[in-house]
Amino acid sequence: MLKLYDKTVTSRLLLGTALYPSPAILGEAVKASGTEIVTVSLRRESGFERAGQSFWSLIKELGVHVLPNTAGCHTAREAVTTAQMAREIFGTSWIKLEVIGEQDTLQPDPFGLVEAARILVNEGFEVFPYMNDDLVVAEKLVQAGCKVLMPWGAPIGSGRGLNNPYALKTLRAHFPDIPLIVDAGIGVPSHAAQAMELGYDAVLLNTAVAKAGDPVRMAKSFALAIEAGHLAVEADPIEPRDMAAPSTPLMGKAFF
Q: Which of 31, 96, 140, 220 is catalytic?
A: 96
Check the annotation: does 112 bind a ligand. Answer: no
DSSP code for 239: P
Check the annotation: does 91 bind a ligand. Answer: no
- DSSP helix/strand/coil, 165: helix
CA 38/CA 65 separation, integer angstroms: 6
Check the annotation: does 16 bind a ligand. Answer: no
The pair phi, psi for residue 197, each rounded to 5°, is -70, -20
Give how far Cα 172 sits from Cα of 137, 149, 175, 198, 235, Å. Answer: 14, 10, 5, 8, 18
Which strand (E) or helix (H) includes residue 118?
helix 110-122
Burial call 126-148: b when 16+ CB within 10 Å, e when fewer: bbbbbbbbeeebbebbbebebbb
Do the beta carbons of residue 86 and residue 42 sit within 8 Å?
yes
- DSSP helix/strand/coil, 31: helix
DSSP code for 49: G
What lies within 8 Å, CB to CB, of 125 at 6+ separation is 83, 87, 93, 94, 95
Q: Is 3 a catalytic residue?
A: no
Check the annotation: does 185 bind a ligand. Answer: yes
Check the annotation: does 163 bind a ligand. Answer: no
Do the beta carbons of residue 2 and residue 192 sit within 8 Å?
no
What lies within 8 Å, CB to CB, of 94 at 6+ separation is 5, 65, 66, 67, 68, 125, 126, 128
Do the beta carbons of residue 150 and residue 181 sit within 8 Å?
yes
Binding-site residues, in ranges, read 157, 184-185, 206-207
Binding-site residues for 1-deoxy-D-xylulose 5-phosphate, in ranges, read 157, 184-185, 206-207
Residues annotated as part of the active site: 96
